[in-house]
């Protein structure tokens, strides 16, 4: 069984749009999703019937290999029930339902880390209905991938096969029925994926 780790507030511009503090010096914000949340392309992505708004968060995802290093990379969506997350934040309660509901972790195909070049040079996009909504540059992460893996291994003990969603850049927003999503990693066509909200 793999553990799905997720990093919050790892891009300053996204933290700002959420009204949250972000800081490269402090500890990473970490939460988990159940493995059953994982969804293969093309999904479909299903919006829980009682959710107020499910936001897309496009993220670089690392699969951990032996020695707690990045073995492979993919693009994923950290789907978030934003009203429920806001209510949990306000009440000081966990995010489990807001972030870990069924199907909340769409994940595209993995490519070997050795095939994608330096991790801190990667850029990716999420387009919804043909319009780019999120544009991520790994160089803008507050905590780099090697730092995140070292931290997670020290605190939790990473195991081969574990997954790490590395945080979302700015531009998050709600999904609607019928939306068509395209995740693309610049220069690495094999990491792309297409999704539909049904």
Q: Contact residues for Zn ion (CB under 5 A)?
A: 57, 78, 168
**Nearest approach, Cβ of 9 to Zn ion (angstroms)?**
9
**Nearest approach, Cβ of 16 to Zn ion (angstroms)?**
15
Pair of tokens at residue 65: 């290999």
Nearer to Zn ion, 104 or 168 (CB): 168
Nearer to Zn ion, 125 or 168 (CB): 168
CB 61 within 8 A of CB 165: yes
Pair of tokens at residue 5: 């780790």
Give the integer Cα–Cα distance in Å for 119 and 63.
13
Residue nearest to Zn ion (CB): 78
CB 43 within 8 A of CB 50: no
For residue 127, the tally of other CB atoms under 10 A from its CB is 17
**Nearest approach, Cβ of 192 to Zn ion (angstroms)?**
20
Give residues with Cβ within 8 angstroms of 114, minimum separation 6: none
**Nearest approach, Cβ of 13 to Zn ion (angstroms)?**
13
C-alpha distance across the termini of the chain, in Å? 28
CB 72 within 8 A of CB 111: yes
Nearer to Zn ion, 78 or 162 (CB): 78
Nearer to Zn ion, 47 or 82 (CB): 82
Minimal CA–CA distance to 104: which of 83, 84, 77?
Answer: 77
Nearer to Zn ion, 48 or 67 (CB): 48
**Nearest approach, Cβ of 78 to Zn ion (angstroms)?**
3
């Amino acid at each position: 069984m793999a553990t799905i780790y997720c990093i919050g507030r790892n891009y300053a511009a996204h933290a700002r749009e959420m009204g949250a503090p972000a800081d490269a010096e402090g500890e990473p914000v970490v939460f988990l999703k159940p493995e059953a949340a994982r969804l293969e392309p093309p999904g479909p992505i299903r919006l829980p019937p009682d959710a107020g708004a499910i936001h897309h968060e496009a993220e670089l995802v690392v699969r951990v290999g032996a020695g707690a290093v990045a073995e492979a990379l993919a693009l994923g969506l950290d789907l978030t029930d934003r009203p429920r997350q806001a209510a949990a934040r306000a009440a000081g309660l966990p995010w489990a339902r807001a972030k870990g509901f069924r199907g909340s972790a769409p994940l595209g195909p993995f490519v070997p880390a050795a095939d994608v070049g330096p991790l801190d040079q990667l850029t990716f996009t999420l387009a919804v209905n043909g319009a780019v909504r999120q544009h991520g540059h790994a160089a803008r992460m507050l905590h780099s991938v090697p730092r995140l893996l070292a931290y997670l291994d020290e605190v939790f003990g990473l195991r081969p096969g574990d997954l790490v969603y590395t945080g979302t850049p700015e531009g998050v927003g709600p999904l609607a029925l019928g939306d068509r999503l395209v995740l693309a990693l610049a220069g690495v066509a094999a990491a792309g994926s297409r999704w539909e909200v049904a």
